[in-house]
């Protein structure tokens, strides 16, 4: 584990008591409602929360023990804030150069051209920052953080200030970063769709503490996790390989032996795609399914059933070697005779999977 945290922070009316081990690679999401303490955790990691106590160890290096803190600038942390916080008096190039100079002074060697290329910042370099769009500003902010050649990258809701189309503009850069960066990333979000697209691990927070932590895919496929996030948000991530793009705008994916049709995905044939299917969008059927508008009928086996306090049930399904969740009524389960071990079909409408929930694998 790269980052070991056992920290406490106290503000008037708020107490944080946070323990977690954060992986040395990939993206760990800190997920939870507004005010649960996500930003405070990032600030402690970055060395910005002066009143914090406890222990922060990064790759065996003590960043904080008790009240002794390694100064923020000696940690090698890149921080991207919700609002880009660019220097308004400098051009895009000026903002980026500033970061690269800082890194070089600290003995690190950022690759300017590499970062500019990865984030498509070339055409923006001469622009003053006040005139940039929200999406452009965040790309520059991410570039600036990368140019400090950080050992750890902290992203605090980098998309939350953007509207949906701007989010979609920036998201592919974050996804590419996840694939290319050897730097571990801690990503704060209260959007499960964003977390499902970017994260490999998740730490779920509530009221200043950790309520669940683990690998994202396992967690999202666990029917016991649904009550933690709210059943209407529940849904598992599936992965498939692009098999074909069709003239009517649909993309066909191979999932083991099964086929799934999604709204057109911009990825080449053979590429791996991840997509989240919300439990509410899955219909279960027993026996032959014919003449149905839904395009995806996946052979499934019931693995587990969790009953809620109301009339609903969360059903864990195995589809080939992957897992899915379906939320149906207990009445339907009884009528169909569905219990662990039973075979059924999981029916998913193509249009139920939105673009925001589809990303590269
Ligand atoms: N410097 C401070 N002084 C007093 N209270 C603070 C301070 N910083 C944070 N808090 C409080 O601590 C709590 C946690 O704040 P924090 O910003 O960490 O939550 P969050 O989960 O990141 O929220 P959001 O998603 O809205 O950004 C909030 O109640 C906040 O008002």
- Whole-number pLDDT of residue 178: 80
Measured from CB, residues less than 6 Å from any atom of ligand 1 are 11-12, 14, 32, 34-40, 190
Q: 324 - beta bridge partners?
A: 317
Distance between Cα 168 and ligand 1 center (Å): 27
Exposed/middle/buried for residue 123 (C-beta within 10 Å: 0-12, 13-18, 19+): exposed
Atom 28 of ligand 1 has which residue's CA nearest to it?
35
Dump the DSSP string for 120-168. T-GGGTTSBGGGS-HHHHHHHHHHHHHTT--SEEEEESTTTTS-HHHHH
Cα(102)–Cα(149) distance, rounded to whole angstroms?
Answer: 9
Residue-wise DSSP of 177-189: HHHH--S-EEEEE
Q: Phi/psi of residue 143, each to 5°?
A: -60, -45
Structure tokens at 158: 């980098």
Collapse the DSSP code of 56 into the 3-class scheme (helix H, G, I; strand E, B; otherwise coil) and give the result.
strand
Choose which residue among 8, 11, 34, 155 to substitute to test ligand 1 binding: the one with the highest number of ligand atoms within 8 A of its C-beta.
11
What pLDDT does 162 receive? 79
Distance (Å, rounded) from C-alpha 38 to C-alpha 207? 10
* Ligand 1 center–CA 358 separation, angstroms: 31
Q: How confident is the model at residue 105 (pLDDT cuts 50, 70, 90)?
A: confident
Please say whether the beta carbons of 45 and 205 come within 8 A.
no
pLDDT at 58: 96
- Per-residue pLDDT tens for 224-241? 888 888 888 899 999 999
- The strand pairing partners of 296, in sequence order, are 348
Atom of ligand 1 nearest to the CA of 205: 21
pTM of this structure: 0.88
Instruction: Say if residues 234 and 221 touch (Cβ distance below 8 Å).
Output: no
Q: pLDDT of 299-332, one tens digit each?
A: 999 999 999 888 999 999 999 999 999 999 999 9
Residue 150, C-beta contacts closer than 8 angstroms, at least 6 positions apart:
76, 77, 78, 183
DSSP 265: -
**Which ranges of the chain does DSSP label H, i.e. alpha helix?**
38-46, 92-105, 112-118, 134-146, 164-180, 192-198, 216-220, 226-229, 330-336
In this structure, are strands 343-348 and 296-307 parallel, antiparallel, or unpaired? antiparallel
For a mutational test of ligand 1's pocket, the pick from 8, 14, 18, i.e. the residue with the most ligand atoms closer than 8 A to its C-beta, is 14
Domains recognised in the chain with CATH numbers = 3-227 (3.40.50.300), 235-360 (2.40.50.100)
Q: Report how far ligand 1's centroid is from the alpha carbon of 14 (Å).
A: 8
Q: Which atom of ligand 1 is nearest to the CA of 43?
A: 18
Q: How far is CA 9 from CA 6, 54, 246, in A?
A: 11, 9, 54
* Residue 1: predicted pLDDT: 66
CB 63 within 8 A of CB 212: no
Q: Whose Cα sits closest to atom 13 in ligand 1?
A: 35
Q: Tell me 91's DSSP state.
A: B
Of the pLDDT bands very low, low, confident and very high (cuts 50, 70, 90), residue 170 is confident
| Percentage of the chain exceeding pLDDT 90 | 71
- Tell me, in angstroms, the distance from the centre of ligand 1 to residue 85's CA: 19
From ligand 1's centre to the CA of 35, what distance in Å? Answer: 5
CA of 34 from ligand 1 middle (Å) equals 8
Cα 200 to Cα 25: distance, rounded to the nearest angstrom: 9
Q: Quick one: which atom of ligand 1 is closest to the CA of 208? A: 14
354, burial (CB in 10 Å: exposed 0-12, middle 13-18, buried 19+)? middle
Q: How far is the CA of 129 from the centre of ligand 1 (A)?
A: 28
Q: How confident is the model at residue 163 (pLDDT cuts 50, 70, 90)?
A: confident
Paired strand residues for 150: none
Q: Kindly report, residue by residue over 250-275, the tens digit of the pLDDT.
A: 999 999 889 999 999 989 999 999 99
């Amino acid at each position: 584990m790269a980052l070991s945290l056992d920290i406490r922070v106290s503000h008037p009316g708020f107490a944080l008591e946070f323990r977690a081990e954060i992986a040395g690679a990939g993206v760990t999401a800190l997920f939870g409602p507004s005010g649960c303490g996500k930003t405070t955790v990032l600030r402690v990691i970055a060395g910005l929360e002066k009143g914090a106590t406890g222990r922060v160890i990064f790759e065996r290096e003590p960043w904080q023990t008790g009240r002794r803190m390694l100064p923020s600038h000696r940690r090698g942390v890149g921080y991207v804030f919700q609002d880009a916080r660019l220097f308004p008096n400098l051009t895009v190039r000026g903002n980026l150069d500033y970061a690269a100079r800082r890194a070089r002074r600290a003995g690190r060697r950022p690759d300017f051209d590499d970062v500019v290329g990865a984030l498509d910042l070339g055409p923006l370099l001469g622009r003053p920052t006040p005139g940039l769009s929200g999406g452009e500003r965040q790309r520059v902010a991410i570039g600036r953080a990368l140019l400090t050649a950080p050992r750890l990258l902290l992203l605090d809701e980098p998309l939350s200030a953007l509207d949906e189309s701007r989010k979609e503009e920036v998201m592919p850069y974050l996804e590419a970063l996840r694939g290319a960066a050897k730097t571990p990333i801690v990503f704060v979000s209260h959007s499960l769709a964003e977390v499902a697209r970017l994260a490999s691990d998740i730490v779920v927070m509530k009221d200043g503490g950790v309520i669940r932590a683990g690998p994202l895919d396992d967690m999202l496929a666990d029917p016991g996790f649904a009550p933690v996030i709210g059943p209407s948000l529940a849904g598992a991530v599936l992965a498939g390989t692009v098999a074909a793009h069709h003239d009517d705008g649909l993309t066909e994916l191979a999932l083991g032996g099964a086929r799934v049709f999604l709204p057109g995905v911009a990825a080449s044939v053979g590429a791996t795609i991840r997509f989240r299917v919300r439990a509410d969008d899955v219909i279960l059927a027993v026996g032959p399914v014919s003449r149905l508008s839904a395009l995806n009928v996946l052979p499934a086996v019931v693995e587990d059933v969790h009953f809620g306090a109301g009339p609903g049930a969360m059903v864990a399904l195995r589809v080939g070697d992957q897992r899915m969740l379906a939320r149906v009524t207990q009445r339907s389960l009884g009528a169909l005779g569905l219990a662990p071990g039973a075979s059924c079909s999981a029916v998913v409408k193509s249009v139920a999977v939105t673009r925001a929930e589809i990303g590269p694998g």
